[in-house]
Structure 1
Amino acid sequence: MLANYLIGLREGLEAGLIVGILIAYLGKIGRRDLFGRLWFGIGIAVAVSLGVGALLTWGPYAMTFQAQEMLGGTLSLVAVALVTWMIFWMGTHGAGLSKELRGQVDAAVDRSWFAIVLLGALAVGREGIETALFVWANVSGGNDPVLGTVGALLGIVTAIVISWGISRGLVRINLSRFFTWTGLFLILVAAGVLVYGIGDLQEASVIPGWGTHAFSLVEAVPPGSWYGTVLAGIFNFTPEPTWAQVIGWVLYVAITTTLYLGMLHRRRRPVTAVAPASAAPTTAAVAAN
């Protein structure tokens, strides 16, 4: 539930910030008449996201077991890829997000009325579909689907309240620090979903090695214990992983965390000003004096 709450909170906050920027800019340029079209596009995005969630929840039951496992494993890998992309995209585009969205609004206003609808649908729909897919993949790992869904909804509601508070100046939050730490946490959550997806593909005989455990932590972390339940619910922890799952988890966490921390380091590294060549003689003269 905690993992899904955080997913809903992060994705909801991203969507809320995007909507807030779009509405504020339309108001600033005196195009309040386009608010209805923007909200219509946002409504389409919400409906599509709910539809994707419903299709993922009830669609696979008409399939064979092997087909279900193949679909579940493939969609889990897709969910991991989307969330990984989202983490890096927000880290690299977060600072210039407002400017980028204002440029998209200007281009949409110059085109047609439908362009504003499409802008609202695409801006929010990406976050909604990512949320639906990743929550489904996380819940499919054996977590309680009701608690998982409730956790995601609570996260989205919290994000809406925070976004409204930010727009009114009632809430102040260090968004850079928030997205940085939640990004690191979601890397571990995504690694767990990756392990689950690999397990599904192994059960479907797409990847070999199912049934051969790399090690067993059942005695240290019993599945029925409270801490075993918490680890399984948040990180999709399994006490008896296969070698493919262990290798996949280690490689994903090592590579993704290294690249993510490197990106943060480059973003925060101060830019050293280089003196122009023409100033060099003056500096030397001053030193000589």
Structure 2
Amino acid sequence: MLASYLIGLREGLEATLVVSVLVAFLVKSDRKDRLLHVWVGVAAAVVLSVGFGALLTFTAAQLDFTSQELFEAITSLLAVVFVTWMIFWMRRTARALSGELRDRLGDALQLGSLAVVVMAFLAVAREGLETALLFFASVQGATVNAQPLVGIGLGLLTAVAIGWGLYRSALRINLTRFFTWTGLLLILVAGGIFKYGVHDLQEAGVLPGLNTHAFDISAALPADSWYGTLLSGMFNITPQPSVLEAATWALYLVPTLILFLLPPRAQRVPSPESSPSAV
């Protein structure tokens, strides 16, 4: 439930910020007549995302055990790739995102109503599809199906409330710090999804070593304890992982966390002496 809440909060806030930028641009440009087109695009993106999530769930339910394990493994690995890319992309482009969206919407307004609908749709659909894929991958193995749905629902509602507060200037938060901390937590969630994907490949017989355990801390981390359930549900930390699971988990987390925590490079401004025009 907590992992699903984090996914809904992080992805939902990104989508909400995109929508708020588009709406604010139209309101300030005195183009309120185009607001309906933005909402049509947003609604279409939401329908696509929900449909994509339903398609993943339906497909997995129709497969036999081996095929289902392979399908879940592939979706888990794809989710890790997308969420890792998204985290680093947002870290790099967050400051310029608002201006870029306004420029694109300005161009779309000149092309007509359909262009505005398509622009809003594309801006939100990416976040929605990522959310559906990441949510599907994160809830594999959940023992209570309702909890992840409640978690992501609460996360999305929180994101909408925060976005509305920011739009109305009733709420001020440090978005850089917010995306940094949620990015760190999502990297840990992605590491757990990666580990689960490897486990699925082992259960499907694609990778060996399912019963070769790296360690056993069942006594210190009982599976039925509240903290064992929390760590397992949030980060997929299990008391008896295989050697391959533990190795791939560490190989993903260590370099990804190091790269994420490194300070961003400052853009180098050429000095007058080194510029070609000064020669």
Q: Shorter chain as normaliser: what TM range?
A: over 0.9
Q: Partners of 2:102 and 2:12 in 1: how far apart? A: 20
RMSD: 1.7
| Aligned-partner residue type, residue 93 of structure 2 | H
Q: How far apart are 1:275 and its partner, in Å?
A: 6.4
Q: 141-150 vs 17-26, which deviates more?
A: 141-150
Amino acid at match of 2:130: E
Question: Of the two, which has the highest radius of gyration?
Answer: 1
- Equivalent position amino acid for 2:81 in 1: A
| Greater alpha carbon shift after TM alignment, 81-90 vs 22-31 | 22-31
Whole-angstrom CA distance in 1 between matches of 2:143 and 2:244? 22
Cα 1:206–1:275 shift into 2, 3 Å: closer
Task: Give structure 1 stretches of 5+ with no counterpart.
Answer: 279-289
User: 1:168-222 deviations in whole A, cap 9, x for unaligned?
Assistant: 1111111100000110111111100111011011111122222211111111111
2:258 aligned partner: 258
Deviation per CA, 1:89-130, whole angstroms, max 9, x where unpaired?
110110001111011112212223221111111111111111
What CA distance in whole angstroms lies between the structure 1 residues aligned with 2:23 and 2:121?
14
- Looking at structure 2, the residues matched to 255 and 266 of structure 1 have their Cα atoms a distance apart, in angstroms, of 15
| Residues 214 and 80 (structure 1), Cα distance of their counterparts in 2 relative to 1, 3 Å cut | same
Any residues of structure 2 matched to 1:150-229 within 5 Å, and which? Answer: 150-229=150-229
For normalisation by structure 2, the TM-score amounts to 0.93
Match of 1:54 in 2: 54
2:21 maps to 1:39 = no
Quote the Cα distance in structure 2 between the aligned partners of 1:237 and 1:48: 32
Distance (whole Å) between structure 2 residues aligned to residue 53 and residue 178 of structure 1: 26
Distance 2:95 2:239 in 1: 40
Say whether the 8 Å CA contact 1:41–1:120 is kept in structure 2: yes
Structure 2 distance, partners of 1:212, 1:102, is: 54
Quick check: 1:42–1:120 contact (8 Å CA) kept in 2?
A: yes
Aligned pair 1:132/2:132, yes or no? yes
- In structure 1, what residue type is equivalent to 2:141? G
CA apart distance, 1:30: 2.7
Matches within 5 A, 1:104-123: 104-123=104-123
Distance 1:19 1:209 in 2: 47
Identity among equivalent pairs (%): 49
Encode CA deviations 1:6-51: one digit per residue, 9 max, x unaligned: 1111111111110000111122223222111111110011001111
